[in-house]
């Protein structure tokens, strides 16, 4: 969606399996780490993302929104990129589509759910060694050089951004009737935990997803390790 994590420390392959399953009763989707890759630095090498078959839908929330045209964001009429002043300059903390139409009204966007859980798989996972080595708990976390905006701080709790209001993608609550894209704040945090030195923080193309970019390799499997290693019911959120 326009913000990418460039390699720093060798090639890195991440396998993400997707599926449906019964997860925590308060969750809409959940990521959990299966294994870490042995590169230097170590990064998550295999992760599972499950969408809930028993989601906690309560009025006025109507359900999930599975966008048939996720590349053009056409069901949302308004877009805003928001930034906040910091000691290291203005930092983008939100890229948000609002004013939903049709089936997007009063529903949770599944594209946004997937993006959020992929963010966990890329490093914002409190079971990942890169997370634990740098941040053994909750509290204020600081972005370090050579990443952009070094010195920018965020409050982290439970593997999520706990301050900056309801703006970043990696907050703990799934917003309804909105589509959050990954912000610079999200990207910096994930880059720090997985030790990417040069994240791409440019503004995304909003009208065509993946314009000019290669399509990642995909495969379809008839079996899954996601059910061999079931997640803890209380791990992760959304």
- CA pair distance 170, 183, nearest whole angstrom: 9
- Give the model's pLDDT for residue 75: 95
> Which residues have CB under 8 Å from 185's CB, separation 6+?
91, 92, 93, 152, 154, 161, 164, 167, 168
The encoded tokens of residue 65 equal 């929104």
What's the full length of the chain, in residues? 238
Q: Would residue 182 count as lying in a domain?
A: yes
Structure-block tokens of residue 195: 């030790």
Query: What is the rounded distance in angstroms from the CA atom of residue 4 to the CA atom of residue 160?
Result: 19
150 located within any domain: yes
Question: Strand 139-142 and strand 107-109: pairing?
Answer: unpaired
Q: Model pTM?
A: 0.86
Give the model's pLDDT for residue 6.
Answer: 45
Asked whether residue 190 is assigned to any structural domain, the reply reads: yes
Q: What is the pLDDT of residue 138?
A: 84
| CB-CB contact of 183 with 167 (8 Å) | yes
Is 37 inside a domain boundary?
no
Residue 166 lies in a domain: yes
Distance (Å, whole) CA 167 – CA 70: 20
Q: Is residue 105 part of a domain?
A: yes
pLDDT of amino acid 207: 56
In a domain? residue 143 = yes
Which ranges of the chain have pLDDT less than 70? 1-10, 39, 206-225, 227-237
Tell me, what's the pLDDT at 234? 45
Q: How many domains is the chain partitioned into structurally?
A: 1
Instruction: Tell me what pLDDT residue 28 has.
Output: 96
| pLDDT at residue 59, as a whole number | 86
Structural domain containing residue 197:
58-212
Q: Say if residues 28 and 56 touch (Cβ distance below 8 Å).
A: yes
Q: What is the largest CA-CA distance in the chain?
A: 51
pLDDT reported for residue 71: 84
Tell me, yes or no, whether 119 lies in a domain. Answer: yes
The closest of 48, 46, 43, 47 to 11, measured between CA atoms, is 43
pLDDT score for 37: 84
The CA distance from 178 to 224, in Å, is: 31
Identify the bridge partners of residue 49 per DSSP, sorted by sequence position. 18, 31
């Amino acid at each position: 969606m326009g913000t990418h994590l460039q390699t720093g420390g060798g090639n890195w392959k991440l396998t993400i399996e997707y599926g449906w399953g019964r997860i925590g009763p308060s969750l809409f989707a959940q990521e959990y780490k299966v294994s870490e890759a042995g590169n230097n630095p170590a990064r998550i090498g295999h992760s599972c993302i499950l969408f809930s078959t028993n989601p906690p839908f309560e009025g006025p929330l109507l359900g999930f929104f599975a966008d048939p045209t996720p590349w053009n964001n056409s069901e949302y009429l308004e877009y805003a990129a928001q930034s906040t002043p910091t000691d290291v300059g203005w930092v983008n903390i939100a890229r948000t589509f609002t004013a939903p139409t049709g089936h997007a009204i009063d529903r949770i966007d599944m594209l946004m759910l997937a993006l959020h859980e992929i963010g966990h798989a890329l490093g914002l996972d409190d079971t990942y060694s890169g997370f634990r080595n740098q941040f053994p708990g909750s509290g204020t976390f600081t972005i370090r050089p050579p990443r952009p905006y070094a010195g920018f701080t965020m409050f982290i709790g439970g593997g999520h951004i706990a301050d900056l209001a309801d703006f970043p993608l990696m907050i703990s609550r799934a917003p309804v009737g909105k589509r959050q894209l990954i912000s610079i704040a999200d990207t910096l945090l994930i880059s720090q935990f997985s030790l990417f030195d040069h994240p791409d923080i440019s503004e995304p193309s909003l009208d065509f997803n993946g314009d000019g970019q290669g399509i990642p390799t995909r495969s379809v499997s008839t079996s899954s390790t996601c059910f061999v290693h079931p997640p803890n019911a209380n791990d992760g959120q959304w």
